Amino acid sequence: MRLTDLSKNVTVKFKRSLLSEYVGKCVGAMTERSQPARSLYEEVAQKIQADIIQANLGSGEKLGTELELAAHYGVSRATVRHALVSLENAGLIDRFHGRGTFVADKKARMQHGNGNIQIIVPYLTTSFTGRIVTGAQEVLFHHGHSVSVLSTNNSQQTEGEYIKKIIDQGCPGVIIHATASDYYNPWIFELQRQKIPMVMTRHYQYMDSHYVEANNYQGGYDATSHLIGLGHRNIGLVTKHRGFMASLHDRIQGYRDAMSDHGLAIDRGMILADLEDHRYVYLEDRSKEHERKVIAELVEFLHKSPQMTAVICLNDLAAADVLRAARVAGRTVGEDLSIMGFDNIGISANLEPAVTTVNCPTYEIGKAAAMILLGELAGTNEGTVGKSVPMELVLRESCGPPRKTERVFSIRGGG
């Protein structure tokens, strides 16, 4: 085990405890900001709900009569009745004529709610998230569950609104591919706190939740090792801003460890770690101006690294741009510059030359996420389940051995 792995285990537990406290404050603050001034019956309803929680009343336990509650809270019977109706509509209590008012069976409400498993994704228009949804749907349908798919349009605010509605209305379970951002969405922590079964297919590194992801570390390590096996020594890396995305962090760590394990130094001049590209594998559109800016940035990067004979791009869209920039910079892809992509989206096979890439098994991720969710619903999961699905190299024409003169230069010149 690496020394960094030992320290990571300690920091993960510490950061999770800090996140829990932070998220509680964030959700409370956001809820407070979003609520208008309450009427009297709403205040009473909130007090009744708080008292139920404070008294730790379980499902099926009986509350006082309307007259008793009115006396207790110092309001009219009409106000209490209005408050109870609102709590009943929210699914928090059950009222039976002639029998009284009881704490609702929240577990049953969650299981039956609208009956559908919810899948939350950033976009529905591309094959990347589409394959995740397809894999999950097939498994869930086979086990008798219906599925609703919600698209956030890559908006963390919309993601939070969906989750709040799920919490309010109840839901058997959720599969979520978290929206990319520089910070975690507190509503995802709130979803977990409400004990609604959840599996993430893009997980938060410091959140103790069920998740399924590609083995991005292994993908980064294998991609780098493949290039080293071809004879490359000066291997660069291109990525956009990483944000919270564990996938990019893991791919980079795989690259670093493969270089280290083969006795190769990393030249920081051959790493572009903040490419100004705002696209994602599930949204490829951009303006012509943005496209020109990205290509110009990559051409400058290639000019500054003439010794670089291979470059790993942490998604296929970036690989396509590096290929275009290489032509402008006078480099011949597959001969004096090898390009490795990531994710194996459709564009990678249709470029000239076709780009060698690392396949992200999105269909298998969706199926695995559904199986974990089913295990959670059945109560058969033992603790938190984290599953890593292997990635595979897809070899095409964009990678080859470095030219002989460049190989001699790189060995003498070092990294």
Structural domains present in the chain = 36-104 (1.10.10.10), 110-214+364-388 (3.40.50.2300), 216-361+393-413 (3.40.50.2300)
For residue 14, what pLDDT band results from cuts at 50, 70 and 90?
very low
**Of residues 222 and 116, more confidently modeled:** 222
Can you give the pLDDT at residue 95?
Answer: 84
Can you give the pLDDT at residue 365?
Answer: 97
Can you give the pLDDT at residue 36?
Answer: 47
What is the average pLDDT across 27-56? 69
| Residue 137 in this model has a pLDDT that exceeds 90 | yes
316, 357 Cβ separation under 8 angstroms:
yes
Can you give the pLDDT at residue 4?
Answer: 44
Can you give the pLDDT at residue 400?
Answer: 96
Can you give the pLDDT at residue 413?
Answer: 42
**Of residues 146 and 300, more confidently modeled:** 300
- Distances in Å between the Cα of 314 and the Cα atoms of 248, 320, 334, 339, 351 are 7, 11, 18, 11, 17
Can you give the pLDDT at residue 407?
Answer: 41
- Where are the strands (E) in 195-281, listed by range? 198-202, 210-214, 235-240, 271-275
19, 209 Cβ separation under 8 angstroms:
no
- Distances in Å between the Cα of 275 and the Cα atoms of 131, 242, 279, 319, 326 are 27, 10, 11, 12, 16
Can you give the pLDDT at residue 329?
Answer: 96
| Residue 141 in this model has a pLDDT that exceeds 70 | yes
Beta bridge partners of 176: 120, 200
Angle at 141 between CA 140 and CA 146, to 5 degrees: 85
366-404 pLDDT tens trace: 999 999 999 998 889 989 999 999 999 999 999 999 987
- Give the HSE-up count for residue 310: Cα atoms under 13 Å, Cβ half-sphere: 31
- Average model confidence (pLDDT) for the chain? 84
Can you give the pLDDT at residue 10?
Answer: 42
Mean pLDDT is highest, among 19-28, 49-58, 175-184, for 175-184
Mean pLDDT is highest, among 10-24, 107-121, 266-280, 365-379, for 365-379
C-alpha 397: how far from chain center: 31
**Of residues 5 and 49, more confidently modeled:** 49
- Distances in Å between the Cα of 415 and the Cα atoms of 136, 180, 200, 240, 305 are 44, 33, 38, 22, 11
150-163 pLDDT tens trace: 999 889 999 999 99
Can you give the pLDDT at residue 115?
Answer: 63
Task: Give the percent of the chain with pLDDT over 90.
Answer: 53
What is the average pLDDT across 258-277? 92
For residue 126, what pLDDT band results from cuts at 50, 70 and 90?
confident
Can you give the pLDDT at residue 406?
Answer: 46
Can you give the pLDDT at residue 121?
Answer: 94
Can you give the pLDDT at residue 284?
Answer: 52
The backbone region for 281, taken as left when phi is positive above 0, alpha when psi lies in -120 to 50, beta otherwise, is: alpha
| Residue 299 in this model has a pLDDT that exceeds 80 | yes
Can you give the pLDDT at residue 175?
Answer: 97
**Of residues 277 and 253, more confidently modeled:** 253
